[in-house]
Amino acid sequence: PVTDGSRELHSLCAQLEFLLQFDLKEKRSFFGQRKDYWDFLCQGLARCRQEHEGIHFVTSLDKLKTPVGRGRAFLRYCLVHRQLAESLQLCLLDPESLW
């Protein structure tokens, strides 16, 4: 079984993060902060009619302070609940959400 300590899980999450962060290093928000894939996920899923359970879960975790931590928690939530493909598809449906 795959657990939080599994090397395979860490490798998969690292590769997913790499893909989601690709070409975001130069992107900045209006206030000069670097945009992260967490921002992309939130904006993409906000266009859905109902709040995404993964976004709600991650934002309810007070210990997560950075966008990277929130993004990692979201990826794990989606993997556990078998929602990763659907969540990413929802984000990619709207071409305006692609930076």
List average pLDDT for each run of 10 residues in the chain, which is 99 residues long.
81 90 64 76 83 93 92 92 91 67
Q: How many CA atoms lie within 13 A of 35 on its CB side?
A: 18
- Which residues lie below 8 Å from residue 32, measured CB to CB, with a gap of 6+? none
d(CA 98, CA 89): 12
Q: How far is CA 95 from CA 40, 63, 89, in A?
A: 12, 33, 11
| pLDDT computed for residue 4 by the predictor | 79
State the DSSP H helix or E strand holding residue 77, giving kind and residue range, or none if neither: helix 67-80
Cβ–Cβ under 8 Å, residues 42 and 29: no
Give me the pLDDT at residue 94, please.
65
pLDDT score for 48: 77
Angle among Cα 23, 76, 71 to the nearest 5 degrees reads 35
Please state the pTM of the whole predicted model: 0.80
Please compute Rg for the chain using Cα positions. 13
Q: What is the predicted pLDDT for the residue at 1?
A: 67
